[in-house]
């Protein structure tokens, strides 16, 4: 039996979109009821996906502005990013392309990004929208559009509260590292071979 491969998976996204809850939900099958800004300790577990055993290391980050200079320290050695936005927060959705993708491309070029829409249970919650009149839900089609825009191989919507699709998020992260999508080769126009005269 060969040693299992270690995969470093880092969550990023705006504050309060549910990154820590998603990690807690995945690792302990429970949903924390209070908002706790990033206190999730780095976690590592052996996970089997498609018959492959991997040692999955989960790293949480803080999305708040105060952490802008510290956060990139977590990116070193990352194999995959889970870039999360809330399906009930237009601002967090817009920040994916405006803030997070440029940050990740700068500090960790070439590392795959799984786009994750969180708080799926609240998207169809009429009571939530009555209590938050300014909130506008993000549709699945808008999520897919954003996935294409940022070049992410996968977009998944999940709910940490109901556990819907939470395991699928982490399975997708592992799969994208083990079986990277084939890169489309771009032919560069006008490039000639090297000639020595």
pLDDT digits (tens, 9 = 90+) for 33-80: 776 656 567 888 889 888 889 999 999 888 777 778 888 889 999 999
Instruction: For residue 184, tell me if it sits in a domain.
Output: no
The DSSP result for 46-100, as a single string, is: EEEETTEEEEEEEE----SGGGTTTGGGGGTT-SEEEEEEETT-HHHHHHIIIII
Pairing relationship of beta strands 52-59 and 5-13 according to DSSP bridges:
parallel
pLDDT digits (tens, 9 = 90+) for 6-34: 999 999 999 989 998 999 899 888 887 77
Pairing relationship of beta strands 52-59 and 43-49 according to DSSP bridges:
antiparallel
Q: Nearest to residue 178, comparing CAs of 22, 56, 2?
A: 56
C-alpha dihedral, 163 to 151 to 80 to 155, nearest 10°: 10
Instruction: For residue 20, tell me if it sits in a domain.
Output: yes
Instruction: For residue 141, tell me if it sits in a domain.
Output: yes
The predicted structure's pLDDT at residue 19: 92
The predicted structure's pLDDT at residue 4: 77
Instruction: For residue 42, tell me if it sits in a domain.
Output: yes
Whether pTM > 0.95 for this model: the answer is no
Instruction: List the CATH number of the domain containing 171.
Output: 3.40.50.300
How many domains does the chain contain in total?
1
Backbone angles phi, psi at 10, to 5 degrees: -115, 130
Instruction: For residue 72, tell me if it sits in a domain.
Output: yes
Q: Does the pLDDT of residue 192 top 90, yes or no? A: no
Residue identified by tokens 């800004």 is 37
Which residue segment(s) compose the domain that 109 sits in? 5-178
Instruction: For residue 189, tell me if it sits in a domain.
Output: no
Averaged pLDDT for residues 171-176:
96
């Amino acid at each position: 039996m060969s040693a299992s491969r270690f995969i470093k998976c880092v969550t990023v996204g705006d504050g309060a979109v549910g990154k820590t809850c998603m990690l807690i939900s995945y690792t302990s099958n429970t949903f924390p009821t209070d908002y706790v800004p990033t206190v999730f300790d780095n976690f590592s577990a052996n996970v089997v996906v498609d018959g492959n055993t991997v040692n999955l290391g989960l790293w949480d980050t803080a999305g708040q502005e105060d952490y802008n200079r510290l956060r990139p320290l977590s990116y070193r050695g990352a194999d995959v990013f889970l870039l999360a936005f809330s399906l009930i927060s237009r601002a967090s959705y817009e920040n994916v392309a405006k803030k997070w993708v440029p940050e990740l491309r700068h500090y960790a070029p070439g590392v795959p990004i799984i786009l994750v829409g969180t708080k799926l249970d609240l998207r169809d919650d009429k009571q939530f929208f009555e209590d938050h009149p300014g909130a506008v839900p993000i549709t699945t089609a808008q999520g897919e559009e954003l996935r294409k825009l940022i070049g992410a191989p996968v977009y998944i919507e999940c709910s940490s509260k109901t556990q819907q699709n939470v395991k699928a998020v982490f399975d997708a992260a592992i799969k994208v590292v083990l079986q990277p999508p084939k890169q489309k080769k771009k032919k560069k126009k006008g490039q000639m071979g090297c000639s020595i005269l």
